[in-house]
Amino acid sequence: MSIEDPYELLSKWFEAKEYLVVGKSVTRSDSIEKAIGKARFLEDYYEPGRMLFVKQLLSTEPHAIIESIDYSDALKLTNIVGVFTAKNIPGINNVGYALPDQPLLAEGKVRYHGEPIALIASWDIDDAFKALEMIRVKYKRLTPIYDPLEAMERKDILIHDEQGSNIAFTTKVRKGDIERGFSESSTIVKNTYKTHHQEHAYLETEAALAIPDIQGRINIISCAQYPHLAQRIVSKVLGIPASNIRIITPYIGGAFGGKDDEGPLVAAKAALVAYLTGKPAFLIYSREESIRIHPKREATIIEYTSGVDDNGYLKAIKVKIIHDTGAYTNRGPYILWRATMHSSGPYYVPNAWVDGYCVYTNKVPQGSFRGFGNPSIQFAVESQMDELAKKLGIDPIELRLKNLLRPGMDTITGQKLDHSVGVADLVDKLARKMEWSKVRRELEDWNKRSNRYKRGLGIGVAWHGISTSRGVPDWSNAYIKIERDGSVNVYTGIVEIGQGTPTTSYRQIVAEALGAPLEYINVVFGTTDAPDTGATHASRGTSIGAIGVLVAAAKIRERLNRLASDILKTNPENIVIRNGRVFDKISNREIRWEELIQEAYNRGVEVSATGYFYLPKGKFDDKIGQGFAYPAYSFVAVAVLVEIDTWTGKVRVLKAWPGLAAGKIINPTQVEGQIEGAIAQGIGYVLYEKLEFGSKGEILNADLTDYVIPTIQDVTLDVEKPVYVEDKYKYGPFGAKGVGEMAFIPLPAAIANAVSHALNKRVTTLPLTPENVLKLIGGL
């Protein structure tokens, strides 16, 4: 028998000393198709007139009882096939992910301005718009609440009556004894931090096309980041078995978490129309609808107290985290959990007391966005670290190096980190490479000479747990089959949202493990035809998603080694398969890959396999917030240099120095792409992007003119090559951990610290728009 045990296979490949394609900047397989317009995105499947066009009716009230919906006039238009509301849902309308509080289509009540109420199905686009104008909704207004602090106090106005409170969910961590910790502290810093929403602004808005087929199944071309979740949600809404629902995913024009929340709901709405009418149904969000409807990055209020002793060691933290979750919790509890678990930053803290509150308001819901609750808390943590360093009179890097987690230490949830903890090395290496102290000193001199412009250097260091929080089950899987001609198909549920996982790292991993030429590997991504792979979120596409890919490929490789050893009359250990050459390293006898596969078919050796792997996790006790939080952490540090025009309040990031301790780097160019993209998105978040809410809680800037995302002129192009510490994680594929979200997480902290350094004033509130910066300076 060949080895089939996933642990054995993973550890065998973990030990690899040299690599053929892993670790190389292999070019993506989708680049040219995308450049010449051949790559298919969602709308490319829509054919006007031959499919129903679906338009959504959205609430124009923030908090109201729906008394009636009258669409009788709309139905008189020739091209209108139907108008559908919650009443028409054959299955279950409730689609809440974390708590059962969210309807697909508003039922009885609306809770935010922009909430979907009805779906109009029309053969013609113009008629769909006409129908929209003809539907009359009668509302009975209720008092709205927009401020989370007020919502926490009010019992007389409940956004969800059934909850009995506007506090939807709470979290906590209790470690050690904070009173003792603070009494041992000689320096204590206390601040309240505020962060704002962020709109994803992926350039492709949400869409789905649902096509009923002859076997009574529904095929959905979807933009969801987790096809199997979309399948589950559709199954629930329609009340039909999941096996009757097939999800496929084309290329997706950016997602960043937003299509993890909204994607399954878009699929369910299109599927509902297709199911009720028997016709293919296409739903696309306009830019305005996209901004009004889908959940946003968390807006937070964080009260943070930290204490250090004379030697600069952290002794205690006390933290209160409030998340404005908007009208629905969506993934709010998970986001709050992540913020809570990470609330110490990547530091050793012996005593911690943390409380988290996820609070309803009548605004757009909070949701998943690159970093998932972590950028806001790291902003607080890292601002505290700089303030502590300042009070102690020591360099911010020095204070961090004293306190950073090292292998063998435990986190604030009491989880011992036994390996893959490269953060201290990382910070040390980055600070040396960029000559941190020298640059800081030079800037301080520069500032003495410069009146109008001030410059500052700041760093953000952060950690990010891989996989789901608190020991919640997570797994990986994939299905691989080698065709008779030697070409290889890999089936995965992981989607291609621009990150390049299926189009680079999966091909590399399979080519490495099988020894087949890279160009023979084809990855079929984003489909429920693959086994449930989990979502493309939480930086898990390569870190977790690829475990299954590696295990499946490694299983087949073991079988091929045996087969080749039979053919070449040697031991399996002597077999080398690389880039399509199969040879015995002793005798140098050789056959070609194609011949080997042909022989496998002839001799009855199976060349297909699944790669199921259930991630080993520990227990977590919710009551005290102690226990196993994550299987491993990725670590990141980014330093930025900023320049502030003190007359206008405008901040520019002039340069960034990123560093990552994310285990084995599978494809450096793709990793750089994630880092550079995250830095630009972080610059946008901190300096330019801000949702404006009107008196009805409506988003006033639901377009890309007034919601400003950075152009090529607004970012820094001076991003240094990343510093890597390859602190490999034993269950990661070749030791890889997650990358996608990382560089975003410390960015708000890094920029805020740099601005604080330049102005010698503590930034506690984001964004750093010119107006807010002038206020900070005292000029407004």
Partner 1 sequence: MKVRFILNNREVEVDVDPREILLDTLRYRFGLKSVKRGCERGECGTCTVLINDKPVYSCMVLTVQVEGQRITTVEGLVNDDLFKKIIVSFAEKGAIQCGFCTPGFILTAYALYRIKDKPSIEDILKALEGNLCRCTGYKKIVDALTSIRS
- For the chain, state the CA radius of gyration: 27
The interface mask with partner 1, positions 714-733, x = CB under 8 A, is: -x-x-x--------------
- Specify whether the CB–CB gap between 750 and 744 falls below 8 A: no
Decide the pairing of beta strands 299-308 and 167-175. Answer: unpaired
Residue 679's binding partner out of ligand FES, partner 1, none, with CB under 5 to 8 Å set by partner kind = partner 1
- Report the nearest approach of ligand FES to the CB of residue 25 (Å): 17
Nearer to partner 1, 222 or 468 (CB): 222
- Report the nearest approach of ligand FES to the CB of residue 703 (Å): 10
Q: Within 10 Å of residue 722's Cβ, how many Cβ atoms?
A: 25
Q: Which of 579, 535, 599, 555 lies closest to 258, judged by CA?
A: 535
- Report the nearest approach of ligand FES to the CB of residue 712 (Å): 11
Q: Can you tell me which of 114, 227, 253, 722 binds partner 1, judged by CB under 8 A?
A: 253
- Specify whether the CB–CB gap between 724 and 658 falls below 8 A: no
Residue 750 near partner 1 by CB under 8 A: no
3-state secondary structure of 29: coil
- Specify whether the CB–CB gap between 356 and 303 falls below 8 A: no
- Report the nearest approach of ligand FES to the CB of residue 461 (Å): 28
Residue span binding partner 1 (CB under 8 A) among the ranges 273-281, 498-506, 543-551, 644-652:
498-506
- Report the nearest approach of partner 1 to the CB of residue 494 (Å): 15
Residue 680 near partner 1 by CB under 8 A: yes
> Which residues are registered as beta bridge partners of 194?
301, 765
The interface mask with partner 1, positions 25-44, x = CB under 8 A, is: x-xx-xxxxxxxxxxxx-xx
Residue 1's binding partner out of ligand FES, partner 1, none, with CB under 5 to 8 Å set by partner kind = none
Residue 543 near partner 1 by CB under 8 A: no
Nearer to ligand FES, 564 or 679 (CB): 679
- Specify whether the CB–CB gap between 209 and 45 falls below 8 A: yes
Residue 512's binding partner out of ligand FES, partner 1, none, with CB under 5 to 8 Å set by partner kind = none
What is the distance of C-alpha 179 from the center of its chain? 36
- Specify whether the CB–CB gap between 764 and 383 falls below 8 A: yes
Q: Which of 236, 392, 200, 259 lies closest to 315, judged by CA?
A: 392
Token pair listed for 544: 């977790």
d(CA 161, CA 659): 47
Q: Can you tell me which of 392, 709, 751, 752 binds partner 1, judged by CB under 8 A?
A: 709
Residue 673's binding partner out of partner 1, ligand FES, none, with CB under 5 to 8 Å set by partner kind = partner 1
d(CA 595, CA 582): 9
Residue 780 near partner 1 by CB under 8 A: no
Nearer to partner 1, 11 or 711 (CB): 711
Burial class (CB in 10 A: 0-12, 13-18, 19+), 140: exposed
Residue 91 near partner 1 by CB under 8 A: no
Phi, psi of 460 (to 5 degrees): -125, 130
- Report the nearest approach of partner 1 to the CB of residue 725 (Å): 22
Residue 587's binding partner out of partner 1, ligand FES, none, with CB under 5 to 8 Å set by partner kind = none
Token pair listed for 368: 């998943």
Token pair listed for 602: 């002839």
Residue 679 near partner 1 by CB under 8 A: yes
Nearer to ligand FES, 566 or 703 (CB): 703
Contacts of partner 1 in 178-217 (CB under 8 A): 200-205
- With left for phi above 0 and alpha for psi between -120 and 50, is residue 11 left, alpha or beta? alpha
Q: Can you tell me which of 678, 725, 742, 749 binds partner 1, judged by CB under 8 A?
A: 678
- Report the nearest approach of ligand FES to the CB of residue 341 (Å): 30
Residue 500's binding partner out of ligand FES, partner 1, none, with CB under 5 to 8 Å set by partner kind = partner 1
Q: Which of 4, 2, 143, 1 lies closest to 64, judged by CA?
A: 143
Residue 76 near partner 1 by CB under 8 A: no
- Report the nearest approach of ligand FES to the CB of residue 290 (Å): 13
651's CB contacts (< 8 A; 6+ apart) are 642, 643, 644, 645, 687, 751, 755, 768, 770, 773
Nearer to ligand FES, 212 or 254 (CB): 254
Residue 486's binding partner out of ligand FES, partner 1, none, with CB under 5 to 8 Å set by partner kind = none
- Report the nearest approach of ligand FES to the CB of residue 22 (Å): 24
Nearer to ligand FES, 43 or 124 (CB): 43
Residue 254 near partner 1 by CB under 8 A: yes
Nearer to ligand FES, 215 or 705 (CB): 705
The interface mask with partner 1, positions 441-480, x = CB under 8 A, is: ----------------------------------------
8-state DSSP, 735: G
- Specify whether the CB–CB gap between 58 and 293 falls below 8 A: yes
> Which residues are registered as beta bridge partners of 723?
659
Q: Which of 447, 578, 709 lies closest to 22, judged by CA?
A: 578
Contacts of partner 1 in 499-528 (CB under 8 A): 499-500
Amino acid at 315: K
> Which residues are registered as beta bridge partners of 273?
none
Residue span binding partner 1 (CB under 8 A) among the ranges 253-261, 323-331, 577-585, 601-609:
253-261
Decide the pairing of beta strands 245-248 and 218-222. Answer: parallel
- Report the nearest approach of ligand FES to the CB of residue 111 (Å): 31
Nearer to partner 1, 378 or 503 (CB): 503
Q: Can you tell me which of 286, 437, 565, 701 binds partner 1, judged by CB under 8 A?
A: 286
H or E stretch including 220? Answer: strand 218-222
Contact residues: ligand FES, CB under 6 A:
203, 254, 498
Burial class (CB in 10 A: 0-12, 13-18, 19+), 410: middle
The 3-class secondary structure across 258-315, one letter per residue, is HHHHCHHHHHHHHHHHHHHHCCCEEEECCHHHHHHHCCEECEEEEEEEEEECCCCCEE
Burial class (CB in 10 A: 0-12, 13-18, 19+), 393: exposed
3-state secondary structure of 573: helix
Nearer to partner 1, 276 or 754 (CB): 754
Residue 34's binding partner out of ligand FES, partner 1, none, with CB under 5 to 8 Å set by partner kind = partner 1
Nearer to partner 1, 1 or 36 (CB): 36
Residue nearest to ligand FES (CB): 203
Residue 347 near partner 1 by CB under 8 A: no
DSSP 41-99: -GGGG--BTTBEEEEEEE-S-SSEEEEEEE-HHHHTSTTEEEEE-GGG-SS--B--SSS
Nearer to ligand FES, 388 or 743 (CB): 743
- Report the nearest approach of ligand FES to the CB of residue 255 (Å): 10
Residue 713's binding partner out of partner 1, ligand FES, none, with CB under 5 to 8 Å set by partner kind = partner 1
Token pair listed for 76: 């008189």
- Report the nearest approach of ligand FES to the CB of residue 716 (Å): 17
Residue 82 near partner 1 by CB under 8 A: no
- Report the nearest approach of partner 1 to the CB of residue 46 (Å): 8
- Report the nearest approach of ligand FES to the CB of residue 732 (Å): 26
Q: Can you tell me which of 13, 193, 251, 734 binds partner 1, judged by CB under 8 A?
A: 251
Residues that bind partner 1 (CB under 8 A): 25, 27-28, 30-41, 43-44, 47-48, 200-205, 251-254, 256, 286-287, 497-500, 669-670, 672-673, 676-681, 703-705, 709, 711-713, 715, 717, 719
